[in-house]
Amino acid sequence: MQFKPKSVGFTIILGVLAAMLPLSIDMGLPAFPAIGTSLNASPATVGLTLSLFMVGYAISQLAFGPLSDRYGRKPILIIGCGLFTFASAACAIAPSINALVAWRFFQGAGAGAGMTLMLAMVRDLFEGATARAQLSYISLVINTAPIIAPTIGVGILAISSWRGIYGLLAVGGLILILTIALGLDESIKSRDLNAIKPHRLIGNYLRVLNNRVFIGYALVDALSFGCLFAYVAASSLVMINVLGISTTTYGLIFASTGIGIVAGSFISGLLNNRGVPSPRLLGFGLAISATSAITLVLVSMTGAAQLLTLLPLLIINTFCYGLIAPNAIHHALESVEDIAGSAAASIGFLEMLAGSLASFLVSVFFDGHTVNVMSEVMALFAIASLAIYSKMQFHK
């Protein structure tokens, strides 16, 4: 069965490809204590399974993008999913924590193909408001994953061990390979035969990085992702350790903020299809995101931080990310016409860089008894994103 580019099935497949990141992370989070017990590893060492996954995910995108410009999206996508599937199976049978950490790196590397080539395929096949709407609906699928993934992980742990989680990811990867092989056509119009030659590879990335429009919109997206990831990284520390809520309630809160992103993505797609100008959506989303993050700081500093004061602001902030990301990403890709793979890889890499920085700042400065650091890091990234966009508009 072939999935046509404008079909719902096509959108879902691209969304699932990009969702390999949140699925691989969030399904495994509930299993961290069990992994530590099973493999006789400290919490810090188990945490390396997440860190190395993120490193592999970030670096591999820089390779998959140019490779897809040279050989086409479909074969490189199959290779990436194949690496993800094999590494997931290896994780499921890992005999030691060191082996698990190593295979998580390769699992992350394989997952990197999903996001990069999804963006490149959208750039190949869609233009203008249609492309922005497509990215919005794909984002809707992506951001459904963090809502359901922890529940899936907990469900598997109830009937199996932590190894079952990685086994399920391997099965999912295999299904993806078959779906891509049988259901997707090649999207690239013309291959760049020199894309992976050193001089062209370096030249293409320099072209991307020297394109002010691309860098501006890519940074708007990356910094907004950093704002979101500051919340993701700090949420369990703040909600469970500081506010003292139960893990069940935390799961519901995390799901509600995930629904905020989904709602923002849906509204973005709907309004793009109805002809609402993208700059209006971007400007609104960035302004409200910064405002909600600054309000979080004020709530935190005045000692009024509790679940009822924080949750509405967090939902508003995540809703704004659903508005911002599809529009910023599309404008970045639109500014670079013939090297979509390298451009998409750069977007993904910058997102991971911003997310890692936000996570680092939260972990280093978290004081253990207030929500200040989460709010402050979110505000830092949100304000920076708005400032860059405002500067771009001023210099038009």
User: Can you give the residue ranges of every domain in the chain?
Assistant: 1-195, 197-396
Half-sphere exposure of 162 (CA within 13 A, CB side): 20
pLDDT of 396: 60
Q: Cβ(48)–Cβ(96) under 8 Å?
A: no
Cα 149 from chain centroid (whole Å): 14
Q: Specify burial of residue 210 (Cβ count, 10 A radius: 0-12, 13-18, 19+).
A: exposed
Could you give the angle at the alpha carbon of 169 between the alpha carbons of 165 and 170, nearest 5°? 115
How big is the chain by its Cα radius of gyration, in Å? Answer: 20
pLDDT of 3: 85
Joined tokens for residue 262? 């989904």
pLDDT of 395: 66
pLDDT of 251: 75
Instruction: Supply the CATH classification number for the domain 197-396.
Output: 1.20.1250.20
Q: Which CATH class is domain 1-195?
A: mainly alpha
pLDDT of 199: 86
Low-confidence ranges of the chain (pLDDT < 50): none
